Amino acid sequence: MSLSSIEDQTVAPRPVHVPVLLPETLELLAPKPGGILVDATLGPGGHAEALLEAVGPRGRVVGVDRDAEAIRFARNRLERFGEAFLPLHGNHRDLIRLLREAGVFAVDGVLFDLGISSMQLDAPERGFSFQADGPLDMRMDGDSGSTAAEILATSDEAELRRILWSYGEERRAGAIARAVVEQREREPLERTRQLAELVQRVLGPAAKRFRIHPATRTFQALRIAVNREIDDLERVVTESVSILRRGARLAVIAYHSLEDRAVKHAMRALAERCICPPRLPVCGCGRENLLSVLTSKPVRPSAEEVARNPRARSARLRVGERL
Ligand SMILES: C[S@@+](CC[C@H](N)C(=O)[O-])C[C@H]1O[C@@H](n2cnc3c(N)ncnc32)[C@H](O)[C@@H]1O
């Protein structure tokens, strides 16, 4: 089992989120002065800042995030760009509706930088991190949907095993799920420290030799389940192409193999809609291809970027151009 789809929490917390694959994203997304770009995962605004600089005062960047704290932070950080920056609080599951309500109907590029920001990870009260004690919450949008504690309290053993295995690629998913069910009969699992200690106990002393903290996979899996991060991704990526102008680009950075697979499938389906024989000069089947995939293989961070920012380790960037 590779570490490639596991996010890194084992390094010292960083005060600021470092944008991943920034030069590569800018080169492939190719924002032009005066362009309108959408950052569908605004976070603390690292990518958005670079996009705002590229589109200049006549351009516009719309930043969407489901986390009100991220919106607040990015609004302050990007204040100097004035009306060129438009923050929108909401889930990118509803991207097209959110944009339409803001009067945005056609754009020159869309970026998704999936997953979690260091800012979220480093706030113990949000419950994403096993490094500091906090409530087992993990909801990106604060107060909607079930918390991690509620999932741990109410899922049966088989469901817990599925979550840990599919979203965390945790080899000991079965043993951890069993231990959760046993422990919750004695006391509710409500704190990050309780869960981190439980996982450490189940994985035993050998886990101390892992390159990552033993609880990394369990925490990642629960976070993905709490926020339903993979459920709608293929549809969301597909729909986002409907607002791209011809020649505009879609860039997606994924950190998990399931996320990357959903992005790859969505892009491929958009690129291979037409069923006409290749000898036909123009499409006659009415199912024109909508995207040309520019990255036959995903772009990965350089060794130097990973050394500087270990969080980038599992990143994979895929880009397509609207035909
Ligand atoms: C990796 S961070 C983005 C970091 C940003 N690109 C930067 O460089 O500063 C991902 C952000 O996407 C947000 N997010 C994740 N899923 C979302 C969704 N379905 N809708 C809206 N925002 C989402 C998270 O709350 C988080 O702030």
Does 67 sit in the ligand 1 pocket, CB within 6 Å? Answer: yes
Q: Rounded to two decimals, what is the model's pTM? A: 0.93
Tokens of 242: 């409907």
Give the whole-number percent of the chain exceeding pLDDT 90.
Answer: 88
- What separation, in Å, do the N-terminal and C-terminal C-alpha atoms of the chain show? 38
Bridge pairing between strands 244-254 and 316-322: antiparallel
Give dist(CA 217, CA 9) in Å, integer.
Answer: 10
- DSSP label at residue 299: B
Nearest residue to 59 (alpha-carbon basis) of 95, 97, 3, 108: 108
Residue from 65, 94, 139 to probe ligand 1 pocket by mutation (most atoms less than 8 Å from CB): 65
Q: What is the 3-state secondary structure (H, E, C) of 27-52?
A: HHHCCCCCCEEEECCCCCCHHHHHHH
Tokens of 307: 């050394």
* Mean local confidence (pLDDT), 144-160: 97
pLDDT at position 198, please?
97
Give dist(CA 39, CA 298) in Å, integer.
Answer: 19
Angle at 255 between CA 250 and CA 260, to 5 degrees: 55
pLDDT in tens, 196-254: 999 999 999 877 777 788 999 999 999 999 999 999 999 999 999 999 999 999 999 99
Burial 42-57 (b: 16+ CB within 10 A, else e): bbbbbbbbbbbebbee
Give dist(CA 178, CA 192) in Å, integer.
Answer: 18
**Ligand 1, atom nearest to 93 Cα:** 19
Give dist(CA 23, CA 242) in Å, integer.
Answer: 26
* Mean local confidence (pLDDT), 76-89: 98
* Mean local confidence (pLDDT), 257-278: 95
Residue from 41, 223, 236 to probe ligand 1 pocket by mutation (most atoms less than 8 Å from CB): 41
Give dist(CA 130, CA 124) in Å, integer.
Answer: 9
Cα 174 to the chain's mean position, in Å?
Answer: 26
Q: Output the CA 197–ligand 1 centroid distance in Å.
A: 28
Give the pLDDT band (50/70/90) at residue 11: very low
Which strand ranges, in their side-by-side order, compose the sheet holding 85-89? 85-89, 60-65, 36-39, 107-113, 244-254, 316-322, 291-293
Give dist(CA 39, CA 45) in Å, integer.
Answer: 9
Q: Output the CA 295–ligand 1 centroid distance in Å.
A: 22
- DSSP label at residue 30: -
Does the pLDDT at position 287 exceed 60? yes
Q: What is the mean pLDDT of the chain?
A: 94
Protein residue closest via CA to atom 26 of ligand 1? 43
Give dist(CA 110, CA 249) in Å, integer.
Answer: 7
Does 19 sit in the ligand 1 pocket, CB within 6 Å? Answer: yes
* Mean local confidence (pLDDT), 277-290: 90
Does the pLDDT at position 105 exceed 80? yes
Cβ(150)–Cβ(77) under 8 Å?
no
pLDDT at position 2, please?
43
Q: Output the CA 116–ligand 1 centroid distance in Å.
A: 6
DSSP string, 166-201: HHH--TTHHHHHHHHHHHHHHS---BHHHHHHHHHH
Does 87 sit in the ligand 1 pocket, CB within 6 Å? Answer: no
Does the pLDDT at position 5 exceed 70? no
Q: What are phi and psi of 111, to 5 degrees?
A: -120, 135
